[in-house]
Amino acid sequence: MALFEPHRSNDGEEIVGSDAATRALSVTVVENDFVERVYHNLASIYDFTFGPALHPGRVDAIERMGIRPGDRVLEVGVGTGINAALYPGDCSVTGIDFSSQMLVKARRRVARKGVRNVRLLEMDAANLKFADDTFDIVYAPYVISVVPDPVAVTREMYRVCRPGGRIVILNHFRSKSRLGAWLERIIAPFTLYLGFKSDLDLPAFLVQADLKPVSIEKVNVPRIWSLVTCVKD
């Protein structure tokens, strides 16, 4: 598929535009130390707030991955380890996060639930310490919209995914409606303190990250969250 060839999601949304390669992904800019502070503050309440509200999307994502016995899965932005017990026991999962406080919670959760196939590492998603083509599935749940450089993170995800493997992104993206998009841009600097940018531009993100999705599905209620699945060439 050519870089600028139009592709449509399952609900008919066209995901490329004439200026997608150059337009800004968001009105907000963040640095790693800001992200770390935000998630340090959210660590103690995340499971009671965003946990239940966003959980259906997590379940849908893992079910639709079709994880097979022996698959190697990388979860980018593992947070408090809320996904750990959802994975089949016969795959191998590596979870990474930039927030040491989140990882403290994740390690406690994994130990409490007796999960034995998940290892947890502190790591910058934009500089993954893995060899090329290491994983069968690379999954980023609710993290792409808060990292300082979503394109750099996604390119690292692509690099460590094996040829034929899948890159799966679960995230909120800017609304298709003009009014919704305008409101999301207005509130984007404030939603950062809740751990995400509300106005991340999906078409621009996909083009600039050179991702070619095979499916884009809406999940959660309200259905303002997208599950994007790509296959590495």
Q: Identify the CATH number of the domain in which residue 176 sits.
A: 3.40.50.150
Query: CB-based contacts of 18: which residues, under 8 Å, 6+ apart?
Result: none
Distance CA 145, CA 174 (A): 10
Q: Per residue in 18-39, pLDDT tens?
A: 589 999 899 888 888 887 888 8
Confidence check: pLDDT of 7 > 50: no
Find the mean pLDDT for residues 123-137: 98
In a domain, 165, yes or no: yes
Structural domain count, the chain: 1
- Structural domain boundaries enclosing 204: 32-231
In a domain, 1, yes or no: no
For residue 232, the 8-state DSSP code is: -
**Global pTM value:** 0.86
pLDDT of residue 181: 87
Q: Per residue in 62-76, pLDDT tens?
A: 999 999 999 999 999
In a domain, 6, yes or no: no
Alpha helices (H) in the chain, listed in sequence order: 32-42, 46-65, 100-113, 150-160, 178-191, 202-208
Find the mean pLDDT for residues 189-206: 87
